[in-house]
Amino acid sequence: MQQNNGLDKSQIISFAVLCLVLFGFMFYFQRNSAEEEKVKAEQQKTEQAKKAVTPTPAANINPNVTPNSIQVSNLANNELKLEFSSLGGQVSKVELLKYKAYDHKTDKADLPLNLITKNNSSYGFQFKDKTGKIVNTKNLVFSPVVNGNVATLTANYNGATIQFIYTLNNNPKAELKDQYTLDFKVRTQGLSNVTSDNKADFIWDYQVRNLEKGRAQEQSHSEFSYAFNNYKDYDYDGRTTMEEDKETLNWIGVKQQFFSSVIESKAGFTQSKGNQEAIEEGEYLKKLNFEGFVAMNGGEFNQDFTWYFMPLDLPLLKSYDKNFDEILPLGWSFIGAMNRYFFMWLYSIIAGWGISAGWVIFLMTIIVKLILSPIMYKQHKLSAMMKVIRPEIDEANAKFKDADPMKKQQATMEIYRKAGVNQMAGCLPALVQIPIFYALFRFFPNFIDLRGQGFWFAKDLTAYDDLIKLPFKIPFLGDHLSVFALACTVVILIYTVMTSGNMQQPQQEGMPNMKVIMYIFPITFLFFLNTSASGLSWYYFVSNAINILIILVIKYVILDEKKIHAQIQANKEKPKAEGKFQKRMREMMEKAQEQQKTQEQQRNKKK
């Protein structure tokens, strides 16, 4: 956050806009009671839809099925370890071998990273037999046979044979993208004698497991993601009921903070819908339910699918050429491009030098500051110019204290014009900071290269540090204090004190004291940063510390107030052409004055 010495009105407005944006971030991503009520209301609206896709319980079709009778078969390669259950012929366990999950008991990332385990994922194909009975393959018992890298699971229903054929590439020399891919074929024989349906209803129930340290952050990043229009278009849904009844989905996935489970249909899913429900505590973060139809030809169901269980690593996602890279929430348009082509690139270049992640962020901050230094120089030069003409502004305010506010504003603008001060220049630094802040807000908690990277007392730069644990919970703050967030808040306070000393206070009665607002802002920023990625707090600590140094260097080394005063006096001597903006402002004020005079004359005539 960057502030000026002697902020003018336009700067105050731009600062207020920035505050509103940042406040919006804080309240949007913090769990509060209002949001909970909203989620509950949405759950009630979708309750009927959820009941409509509830499958027939397994016991009704296979009353003899017990946990001990369920068989498990396995496939594995360098990246994935998979288990398949004979009940439903489903993938019942998915472990990503190169990654670890966070253990809240030990405060370490040392658990096996299982995207699927303990029945948190359940899927099947649902249809009606000719008697009208609903059948879901998730309730059928399959017989498993494993041959090399192929697992074939076969079930029988009223004389019809249903086969699920899973193939995992276990060639150690295969491309990385192929090792996170599970080929899934469905083949039937005799199903046309059992059902007259022309489509099967794919139903997938998924509970997102808590794998990361920052629960609230991971929960906010857990959502549906899907592609349509022949993989060209992408959409996501994290908070509402999903309705895609007109599009054919190429793939549907459940995205978590750093990993995703995706199923692709070669024929596509039609009439898709889904809903989700947040889980407030425990092992799981969200419940997601999806339903979409897949075509059956002549009563037989022979379709090809592909499962992807993959980390959200941008080069890996792009290698599939299926629009998977959109799953990574780096921001829209310019924001996303800034992350993809600048911040990620810059991080990779510096990390290649072999230094730790924390020092990579430190050097990134310095580079960004160097790039923005011309803007900062102009900002502080404007601040110095405003300080020099402050006596004239105060004199004008005193002179027109009891006059029409329009006259006071006109007098102030005339002083700016004669001094050669461009008021709008004060908005630029604040406007530049907004997209950078939002890009970094997206970058730090979603960049998988930072996952598990510690720095000083932060064990993971994509999550908060909780060196200071509290014996109770504070609303919006939680049960801890982040040292990085505290340090960042202190530095912002120091920077605010240094830059607000020459701020001109509003003369009108009832206007808020801007100094007080500026001091309150860093405190509110603490609530935002306390549960955010510690990498973000570290970046802004370094950024604001550099800001303080820059102010001192500019003030005592670069800028000379005497020279600035002389330049302003020289500007006053030169004839000034009225700019378009100034001309419009003057004309607007003159028009407003004329209208005001007309209204006063009309009121006097009525009297």
Question: Please, is 78 exposed, middle or buried when counting C-beta atoms within 10 Å of its C-beta (0-12, 13-18, 19+)?
Answer: middle
Would the pLDDT of 129 be above 50?
A: yes
334 within a domain of the structure (yes/no): no
Co-location of 259 and 366 in the same domain: no
333 within a domain of the structure (yes/no): no
Co-location of 37 and 120 in the same domain: yes
Alpha carbons 407 and 440: distance in angstroms, whole number? 44
Q: Look at residues 328, 362, 380 and tell me which one is the last residue of a structural domain.
A: 328
158 within a domain of the structure (yes/no): yes
269 within a domain of the structure (yes/no): yes
Amino acid at 173: K
Domain count, the chain: 3
Co-location of 571 and 587 in the same domain: no
391 within a domain of the structure (yes/no): yes
The Cβ of residue 365 has, within 10 Å, a number of other Cβ atoms equal to 20
Place of tokens 């920035």: 18
404 within a domain of the structure (yes/no): yes
- Pick the more confident residue, 412 or 113: 113
At 51 the pLDDT is: 38
Co-location of 90 and 193 in the same domain: yes
Supply the CATH number for residue 248's domain: 2.70.98.90
At 21 the pLDDT is: 47
Alpha carbons 446 and 449: distance in angstroms, whole number? 9
Alpha carbons 262 and 100: distance in angstroms, whole number? 20
Co-location of 503 and 590 in the same domain: no
Q: Look at residues 328, 362, 383 and tell me which one is the last residue of a structural domain.
A: 328
Across 360-384, average pLDDT: 80
**Contact, 251 vs 264, CB < 8 A?**
yes
Length of the chain, in residues: 607
| 158-197 burial: b if 16+ Cβ within 10 Å, else e | eebebbbbbbbbbeeeeeebbbbbbbbbbbbeebbebbeb
Co-location of 565 and 603 in the same domain: no
Reported as a pLDDT band with limits 50, 70 and 90, residue 187 is very high
Alpha carbons 549 and 432: distance in angstroms, whole number? 20
Co-location of 537 and 454 in the same domain: yes
Closest CA to 181 of 256, 251, 286: 251
Co-location of 348 and 377 in the same domain: yes
Q: Look at residues 281, 297, 328 and tell me which one is the last residue of a structural domain.
A: 328
Q: Tally DSSP H helices, then E strands, for the chain.
A: 16, 20
**Contact, 188 vs 300, CB < 8 A?**
yes
Would the pLDDT of 393 be above 50?
A: yes
314 within a domain of the structure (yes/no): yes
The 10s digit of each residue's pLDDT in 400-421 is 665 566 666 666 666 666 555 5
Would the pLDDT of 531 be above 60?
A: yes
Co-location of 201 and 271 in the same domain: yes
127 within a domain of the structure (yes/no): yes
Co-location of 268 and 349 in the same domain: no
Co-location of 559 and 590 in the same domain: no
The 10s digit of each residue's pLDDT in 298-355 is 788 999 999 999 999 999 999 999 999 999 888 877 888 889 889 999 999 999 898 9
The residue range of the domain holding 583 is: 577-607
Closest CA to 522 of 548, 489, 498, 495: 489
At 262 the pLDDT is: 95
At 571 the pLDDT is: 55
DSSP-derived pairing of the beta strands 134-136 and 121-128? antiparallel
Co-location of 410 and 361 in the same domain: yes
Across 439-443, average pLDDT: 87
